[in-house]
Amino acid sequence: MIKKLLFLLVLLLTATTGAWAQDTYKVSMKDGVKDADKWTVKVGEGQAQALPIGGLKGDGSETVTLKYNGRLKVKSVTATSDAAPAAEPTAANATATDIGKVVCAAGHLHDAKTAVPDGCTAVGILGKVTETGHGLILALQDATQQSWNTINGWASVTTYAGTTLKLLPDNAARGTNLTSYTTLGSTTVSNWCVAQKSDYDAIFTNLGSTTEDSDGKTYDDNVNAYITTGVGGTPISGEYWSATENNDIYGWIFHSDFWNAVPKGGDRSLRPVLGF
């Protein structure tokens, strides 16, 4: 007389899963479903009879218990998780840990100081992310030189990154180096803008600048390494306007050594940002 074999196997599973989705477990026998009705499968508080089993929900940390009550010799049992794959990183779900990454035209974030994959177009460097998930992308190229008075006459954009940006109005202002963008994939962006003094200060700080004066951080080789390495951007060099006024006569510029207030009427370079 063949005695029935009671086989108990406990598997502890860990799964990489986002907070937005539960794991769904599947349990099956490697060589078919012989004696399939002899199995009891339990995941957390969920339980089912007979193999194959699917659809038992969990968060990736449950004990999966398989109990066999039959005559087969069990060699191995495998439990796998069908958790939803992690969302691809994009500007829309960026956090402060993504600062320095390359943003492509499809909105994806790629490792800092590396080339984007074939078929992608690098747009800029993620330079600032706020607590609300909005931020600024620093351009890889300069725009056309302008005076501060001209910049101040451009439309204000206030819905991105908790700041006030000045929108470059047309192709003439953007120049030949900057493609116009109102979306990066599914991420809505502001099109190219001049940022405030505090924005550039934050971007340069976030990208590791060590150059500063009493008025804030400015760009250096650490900042330019993000712009040039892998993605072929043009380094920041010379003097650039911010959108911030110093007083009725002067506006703020940043230079490789300092911040300075200079007369608003002179033409100087622009290194724009995209707000998202």
Q: What is the pLDDT of residues 76-91, one digit of tens each?
A: 666 665 665 566 799 9
Q: Are residues 55 and 189 in the same domain?
A: no
Q: Are residues 106 and 225 in the same domain?
A: yes
On whether residue 86 sits in a domain, the answer given is no
Which residues partner with 259 through β-bridges?
254
Nearest Cα to 117, choosing from 145, 94, 97, 88? 88
Higher pLDDT, 62 or 142: 142
**% of the chain with per-residue pLDDT over 70:** 75
Give the mean pLDDT of the chain.
85
**% of the chain with per-residue pLDDT over 90:** 68
How many CB atoms neighbour CB 2 within 10 A? 5
How far apart, in whole angstroms, are the C-alpha atoms of residue 46 and residue 23?
13
Q: Are residues 19 and 43 in the same domain?
A: yes
Instruction: Please determine, for residue 141, whether its predicted confidence score (pLDDT) is greater than 50.
Output: yes
On whether residue 147 sits in a domain, the answer given is yes
Across the range 194-212, mean pLDDT stands at 98
What is the band of 209 on the pLDDT scale with cuts at 50, 70, 90?
very high
Q: Are residues 51 and 143 in the same domain?
A: no
Instruction: Please determine, for residue 16, whether its predicted confidence score (pLDDT) is greater than 50.
Output: no
Higher pLDDT, 243 or 43: 243
Q: Are residues 70 and 112 in the same domain?
A: no
What is the band of 170 on the pLDDT scale with cuts at 50, 70, 90?
very high
Domain count for the chain, please give it: 2
pLDDT of amino acid 202: 98
Instruction: Please determine, for residue 9, whether its predicted confidence score (pLDDT) is greater than 60.
Output: no
pLDDT of amino acid 6: 33
How far apart, in whole angstroms, are the C-alpha atoms of residue 173 and residue 266?
16
pLDDT of amino acid 268: 98
Q: Are residues 141 and 267 in the same domain?
A: yes
Range of the domain at 12: 5-81
Angle at the Cα of 252 from the Cα atoms of 101 and 168, rounded to 5 degrees: 60
Q: Are residues 76 and 130 in the same domain?
A: no
On whether residue 241 sits in a domain, the answer given is yes
Q: Are residues 260 and 228 in the same domain?
A: yes
Angle at the Cα of 25 from the Cα atoms of 24 and 28, rounded to 5 degrees: 145
What is the band of 19 on the pLDDT scale with cuts at 50, 70, 90?
very low
